[in-house]
Amino acid sequence: MSDPLVLAGLGFVAMFVLMAVHVPIGIAMGIVGAGGFAILVGVKPALSLLASEPASVFTNLDLAVIPMFLLMGSLAAAAGLASDVYKLAYAFIGHRRGGLALATIGGCGGFGAVCGSAIATTATFGRVALPEMLERGYSPALATGVVAAGGTLGIIVPPSSIMVIYAILSEQFIVDLFVAAIIPAIMAISFYMFAVMAYVYFINPNGGPPGPRVPWPERWQVIKANWGVLLLGTVVLGGIYSGIFTVNEAAAVGVTIALLFAIGRKRLTWRSFLSVLAEASATTLMIYIMIVGASIFSYFMSVTHAPQRLIEAVGALQLSGVLVVSILLLLYLILGAIFDEVAAMVVTLPFVLPLIKHFNYDLVWWGIINVTVVEIGLLAPPIGLSVFVVHGMRKDIPLGTIYAGITPFLIADVLRLALLVMFPALALYTVQLLK
């Protein structure tokens, strides 16, 4: 029983058993990690670990950006900025076949730049765009599929909370992750738009009827009326990329701008403000607990030497780096279909990072790959959390219809992932350019 590798295996089993009985993931990881550490090292060091790790995480200044980005996203949604970016996108592309779906993709991409959460983006556009598409005669498959897929852009378009978490856990610069995500984010939006066009031109020509063309004078009026989201995104991302702001400063400025817009538009009452604070606080606490649990679990794994043994086993089997990466991608697709994006990442990093380092892959590149494949997992059957968010909002539309609707987007995702794996420069070029 005291064999470290046996304990590591039992630890994973115990962790998944706890999660199966609805113990929160972070707490399950913390319990198993502390228990295993106590058996191998001692009760006193384990108690010390339980005291020091929460203090370390909750006082980490880099992690302070997470609650601020979450609050910025909640305030932006309360201020109606999601509707603004949707109207902006529709004014320019709504007259095309599938125009509302294209506007939804553009809107999700724009809102993702001020939200940073896939589930929040999906839920927001489920309210903003889905009813209008269905009212205008869009195929339920396309309407629900585009919202479920577009929502996942919330984690690939910087600034993204999950990129912050990966950067901290892998000891990379947060800004490097944000810069590396520029081209992959543009690819994600573009590929999804091509998927919409493929659907309305080849799969179901009647599934996305075009809307009326908005003349240029009205487009300028839309820009003038909805300039808030442009300002917020430009200040936050422009400030980070130009070096004017640190990531924390940019998040704080973003919260201030979003709050001023919400107040100025009279969209924020004391009750709704407290609701926004409660929502951001609850999500932040959940993420922090997961990071604490993952940190404690990592200590347990390190004393079992399981990651090193895994690397030795890979070496003994003479597995190539490409094959190992392919296996990891498949693993993340499965986990992403079951867990949310943060949980899928923090559970696996203690094992995955040593493997990536062993094969000398760039950790910034792997961060983009990791986020991308977890994003795909949010759509992948048999679960796909983004799909279930949409289904929860429109229970009258069968799950099978939604899964049919996401199929073109999944194909686009797989093609995009393959390109990012084959050509790492797609993620690393901008990092090298701005250094």
13 burial via Cβ count (<10 Å: 0-12, 13-18, 19+): exposed
Alpha carbon distance 199, 57 (integer Å): 46
Q: What is the pLDDT of residue 25?
A: 87
**Structure tokens of 79?**
């201020």
Work out the number of other CB atoms within 10 angstroms of the CB of residue 354. 16
Q: Give the separation between CA 260 and CA 239, rounded to whole angstroms.
A: 18
Whether residue 5 is predicted with pLDDT greater than 90 in this model: the reply is no
Q: How much is the average pLDDT of 67-96?
A: 89
Whole-number mean pLDDT of the chain?
90
Any residues with CB less than 8 A from the CB of 217 and at least 6 apart, and which?
none
Instruction: Tell me if 30 sits within 8 A of 54, measured CB to CB.
Output: no
Q: Which of 16-20, 78-82, 314-318, 389-393 has the lowest mean pLDDT?
A: 314-318
Helices 341-358 & 363-377 angle (0-180, nearest 10): 140
Backbone angles phi, psi at 266, to 5 degrees: 60, 35
Do 163 and 367 touch, CB atoms closer than 8 A? yes
Burial environment of residue 415 by CB neighbours within 10 A (0 to 12, 13 to 18, 19 or more): middle
Is the Cα dihedral 176, 177, 179, 184 positive or negative? positive
Q: 303: which 2 tokens? A: 């004393």
Residue range 135-186, pLDDT digits in tens = 999 999 999 999 999 999 999 998 888 999 999 889 899 999 999 999 999 9
Which of 341, 279, 287, 268 is closest to 81 using CA atoms? 268
Give yes or no for a contact between 91 and 102, defined as CB atoms under 8 angstroms apart: no
Show the tokens assigned to 125. 């556009």
Lowest mean pLDDT, pick from 88-102, 205-219, 308-322, 346-360: 308-322
Q: Which two tokens stand for residue 98?
A: 């599938």
Interval 112-127 mean pLDDT = 88
- Crossing angle between the packed helical segments 140-151 and 385-393, to the nearest 10 degrees: 130
Selected residue with higher pLDDT from 433 and 5: 433
User: Is residue 19 predicted with pLDDT exceeding 90?
Assistant: no
Please write down the HEC assignment for all residues of 85-110: HHHHHHHHHCCCCCHHHHHHHHHHHH
Q: What is the pLDDT of residue 1?
A: 46
What pLDDT is stored for residue 317 in this prediction?
82
Whole-number pLDDT of residue 2: 56
Question: How many other C-beta atoms are found inside a 10 Å radius of the C-beta of residue 423?
Answer: 11
**DSSP summary character for residue 96:** S
Question: Looking at the chain, how many residues does it have?
Answer: 435
